[in-house]
């Protein structure tokens, strides 16, 4: 359960986030939808305590990322925009390293990795070095290492970027599995199909502010449009999102 | 602490898989430096010997003015060559190392018993002609003394009168301390290795990780950033120390092949000396690792980090250069400054001197303190939110 109230963040002159508030409930997938540069990544970075907010409040299961950074990092799983792997290590070693950093016991890590191999179909590359991985393989490793400690809250920054159809379907299935397991999932995206296929709630962000917030049906009603895409364009007030 | 050791183990393991980096840091230096060093020494010795034993071929101008002198020169093994047309040009063009000119008035002076001039034409700034020049002077001096004494004896005066004092050299330098002159490069090479050994690791694990976008996900793990930094710094330290150990061992293995007999030197590097040197230089690897990590964390890109590294390499060279130009006697107050003290101490160890425990303590403590201060600064750099941004 995430609760964000009136979040602000500036980088010098640039006001990246100006008063964002939303909620992400357990057992739901919340989509942060917005054009490039709208402030999605900055908002997520404040959620996983990489950046301190200038003002505003964040609570993740009643923990504050600015004060309880270590405790929060234990309960969240993050697939950030930057998802570099260690090229000279195998997929298994990449995931194992993160398990160790979470202080997990060796046998627990191994068991988790076997689960991922099964669920994310990683069998044919789990023991290969990450240097030559395809985009899809890289994302799978990034997800597995982020989820190795079985977190309650999951944050994903444009997870389906650069994935082919098969990988995207696998990813969606995995996210829906997390949802039915009662996890709170937040994902940022600018892909409309993803929003309609996955999200229970949609938070539309434009120029660092909340443009709209609600279920898909609510957004359609609010904007009197037939598709989410039209609703999105109407709600953010420009068509810049479509150029991305 | 768990975080530190996890990061350390991963960094070392990953780097050991980078074959090119392993070769550069762990093998290239330890093979190249001793071979280069010993090769140069060998070359120098054999060249000097060759010059000293080579028949001395000297053109002599005006041989007709002093036939006795020319005969003496030949008796001493010198091959007297016919006079050239332009002796000065010949020396300037390095076609002859030394030329002797006996001026026209030599015979007149000789008969009158006033000092007869003999000119020795050479260019002492050409170091390679030094040996030949010394040999010519030595032979001429011999003739000078011989004739001087003969003249005194002819007049019934003891030839001892001509030598009011007798100079005797009492050489207190031991073969070991003479070895120091050859080993003057050792501290220099070791200091350099302490820095270069960890260079790749520091760059790759901080600036490189930033560039490959794996730093942000790493920092999301529940491990304090100073621990992550410390793990990386220790890995840097590990490679610097490994590189040093290998360099020293390789010196130890190569030294017996030195032209020791010709130099009259004791160039033995005992296992105990190797251990002592490693102990003395260990805090330098901490200092180097901290400085390299600090710069790599400060730089926004790999390229920027690289540009700093070029300058960092100059730091360990400064004290060594200073002592090569201006050797000083080690004293207690010199044991504080990092790098300077190690230079002096390694010199003492190679000479086989015993080192006061106080010196060791001061040197170790002073350098380690500075290293830890730099590490603390690096840790604060790691705590900056903007660490992960490669631009801005």
* Full DSSP string of B107-144: HHHHHHTSPPP-EEEE-TTSGGGHHHHHHHHHHHHHHH
B138 with B210, same domain: the answer is: no
User: B90 and B184 share a domain?
Assistant: no
More confident residue, B230 or B321: B230
Q: Please report whether residue B98 resides in a domain.
A: yes
Quote the tokens at residue B355.
Answer: 């080192």
Residue B241 lies in a domain: yes
Question: Are residue B188 and residue B237 in the same domain, yes or no?
Answer: yes
Residues A21-57 have pLDDT tens digits of 999 999 999 999 988 888 999 999 999 988 999 999 9
Count of domains in chain A? 1
Note whether B220 contacts A84, CB cutoff 8 Å: no
> Which pair of structure tokens corresponds to residue B4?
């530190």
Where residue B85 sits, what CATH number does that domain have? 3.40.190
Which of B136, B162, B188 is the last residue before a domain boundary?
A: B162
Residue A96 falls inside a structural domain: no
Examine residue B109 and state whether it is found in any structural domain, yes or no: yes
CA dist., res. B119 & res. B105, Å (int): 12
Token pair for B248: 């020293």
Q: Nearest CB to A101: which of B209, B216, B221? A: B221
pLDDT at A99 over 90: yes
Distance CA A171, CA A115 (A): 15
β-strands A201-206, A28-33 pairing: parallel
Residue B162 has pLDDT above 80, yes or no: no
What distance in Å separates the CA atoms of residue B96 and residue B129, rounded to the nearest whole number?
A: 9
Q: Is residue A64 part of a domain?
A: yes
pLDDT at A243 over 50: no
Domain with A215, as residue range(s), is 2-83+152-243
Chain B CA closest to residue A65? B220
Q: What is the mean pLDDT of residues B8-26?
A: 91
CATH number at residue A227: 3.40.50.300
Instruction: Give a yes or no: residue B158 inside a domain.
Output: yes
Contact yes or no for A73 and B3 at CB 8 A: no
How far is residue A47's CA from residue A57's CA, in Å, rounded to a whole number? 10
Indicate if B152 and B233 belong to the same structural domain. no
Mean pLDDT of all residues in A59-71: 91
In a domain, A229, yes or no: yes
Contacts of A103 in chain B (CB under 8 A): 2, 222
Reported as a single tens digit per residue, the pLDDT across B348-366 is 888 778 888 999 999 999 9
Q: Are residues B19 and B143 in the same domain?
A: no
Q: What is the pLDDT of residue B182?
A: 60
pLDDT in tens, B365-392: 999 999 999 999 999 988 887 777 765 4
pLDDT value for A241: 46
pLDDT bracket for residue A86 (50, 70, 90): very high
B105-132 pLDDT tens trace: 888 888 888 888 999 998 888 777 777 8
Residue B227 · residue B188 · CB < 8 Å: no
Count of other CB atoms within 10 angstroms of residue B65: 19
Which pLDDT score is estimated for A242?
Answer: 46
* Residue A191 falls inside a structural domain: yes
Q: Say yes or no: B40 and B58 in one domain.
A: no
pLDDT at B178 over 80: no
Q: What is the mean pLDDT of chain A?
A: 90
Regarding whether B320 and B276 lie in a shared domain, the answer is: yes
Same domain, B251 and B358: yes
Would A41 be classed as within a structural domain?
Answer: yes
Would the CA dihedral through A140, A146, A152, A154 be positive or negative?
negative
- What's the complex ipTM? 0.91
Looking at B106, B135, B162, the residue that finishes a domain is: B162
Using a CB–CB cutoff of 8 Å, tell me whether A13 touches chain B: no
For chain B, what is the mean pLDDT? 85
Are the C-beta atoms of residues B196 and B243 closer than 8 Å to each other?
yes
What range does the domain containing B158 cover? 54-162
Tens-place pLDDT, residues B302-322 = 889 889 988 888 888 888 788
Domain boundary among B107, B134, B162: B162
One domain, residues B142 and B206? no
- Give B12 or A162, the one with higher predicted confidence: B12
Sheet holding A2-11, edge to edge: A14-24, A2-11, A55-60
Give the contacts of B238 (CB within 8 A, at least 6 positions apart). B8, B12, B201
What count of CB pairs under 8 Å joins A to B? Answer: 69
**A162 within domain boundaries:** yes
State whether B265 and B246 are in the same domain.
yes
For residues B384 and B351, state if they share a domain.
yes
| In chain A, % of residues over pLDDT 90 | 62
Q: How many domains are contained in chain B?
A: 2
Quickly state the pLDDT bin for A244 (edges 50, 70, 90). very low
- Kindly state the tokens that stand for A7: 């979040």
In a domain, B169, yes or no: no
pLDDT-derived band of residue A237, with 50, 70 and 90 as boundaries? Answer: confident
């Amino acid at each position: 359960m995430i609760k964000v109230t009136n979040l602000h963040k500036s980088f010098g002159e640039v006001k990246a986030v100006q008063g964002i508030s939303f909620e992400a409930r357990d057992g739901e997938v919340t989509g942060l939808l917005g054009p490039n540069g709208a402030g999605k990544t900055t908002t997520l970075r404040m959620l996983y305590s990489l950046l301190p907010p200038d003002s505003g409040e964040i609570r993740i299961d009643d923990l504050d990322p600015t004060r309880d950074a270590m405790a929060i990092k234990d309960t969240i799983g993050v697939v950030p925009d930057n998802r570099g792997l260690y090229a000279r290590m195998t997929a298994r070693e990449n995931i194992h390293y993160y398990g160790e950093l979470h202080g997990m016991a060796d046998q627990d890590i191994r068991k988790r990795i076997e689960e991922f191999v099964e669920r994310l179909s990683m069998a044919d590359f789990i023991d290969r070095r990450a240097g030559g991985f395809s985009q899809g393989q890289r994302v799978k490793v990034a997800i597995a290492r982020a989820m190795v400690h079985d977190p309650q809250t999951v944050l994903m920054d444009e997870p389906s970027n650069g994935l082919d159809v098969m990988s995207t379907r696998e990813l969606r299935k995995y996210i829906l599995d997390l949802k039915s397991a009662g996890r709170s999932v937040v994902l940022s995206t600018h892909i409309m199909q993803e929003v309609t296929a996955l999200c229970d709630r949609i938070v539309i962000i434009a120029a660092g502010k909340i443009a709209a917030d609600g279920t898909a049906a609510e957004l359609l009603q609010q904007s009197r449009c037939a598709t989410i895409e039209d609703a999105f364009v109407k709600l953010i007030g420009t068509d810049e999102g479509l150029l991305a | 602490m768990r975080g530190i050791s996890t990061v350390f183990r991963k960094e070392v393991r990953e780097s050991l898989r980078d074959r090119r980096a392993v070769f550069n840091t762990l093998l290239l230096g330890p093979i190249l430096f001793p071979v280069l060093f010993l090769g140069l020494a060998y070359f120098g010795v054999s060249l000097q010997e060759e010059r000293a034993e080579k028949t001395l071929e000297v053109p002599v101008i005006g041989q007709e003015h002093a036939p006795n002198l020319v005969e003496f020169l030949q008796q001493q093994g010198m091959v007297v060559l016919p006079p050239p047309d332009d002796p000065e040009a010949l020396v300037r063009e390095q076609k002859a190392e030394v030329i002797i000119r006996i001026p026209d008035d030599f015979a007149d002076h000789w008969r009158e018993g006033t000092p007869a001039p003999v000119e020795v034409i050479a260019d002492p700034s050409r170091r390679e002609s030094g040996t030949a020049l010394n040999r010519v002077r030595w032979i001429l001096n011999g003739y000078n003394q011989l004739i001087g004494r003969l003249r005194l004896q002819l007049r019934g005066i003891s030839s001892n009168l001509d030598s009011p004092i007798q100079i005797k050299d009492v050489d207190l330098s031991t073969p070991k301390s003479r070895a120091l002159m050859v080993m003057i490069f050792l501290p220099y090479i070791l200091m350099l290795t302490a820095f270069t050994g960890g260079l790749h690791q520091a760059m790759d694990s901080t600036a490189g990780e930033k560039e490959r976008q794996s730093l942000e996900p790493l920092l999301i793990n529940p491990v304090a950033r100073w621990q992550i930094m410390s793990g990386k710094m220790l890995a840097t330290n590990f490679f610097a120390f490994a590189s040093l150990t290998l360099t020293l061992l390789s010196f130890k293995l190569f030294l017996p092949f030195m032209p020791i007999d010709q130099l009259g030197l004791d160039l033995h590097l005992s296992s105990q000396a190797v251990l002592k040197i490693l102990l003395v230089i260990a805090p330098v690897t901490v200092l180097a690792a901290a400085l390299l990590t600090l710069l790599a964390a400060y730089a926004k890109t790999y390229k920027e980090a690289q540009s700093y590294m070029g300058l960092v390499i100059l730091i360990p060279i400064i004290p060594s250069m200073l002592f090569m130009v201006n050797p000083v006697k080690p004293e207690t107050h010199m044991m504080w400054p990092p790098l300077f003290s190690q230079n002096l101490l390694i010199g003492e160890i190679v000479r086989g001197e015993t080192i006061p425990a106080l010196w060791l303590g001061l040197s170790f403590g002073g350098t380690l303190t500075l290293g830890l201060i730099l590490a603390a600064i690096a840790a604060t750099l790691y705590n900056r939110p903007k660490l992960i941004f490669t631009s801005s």
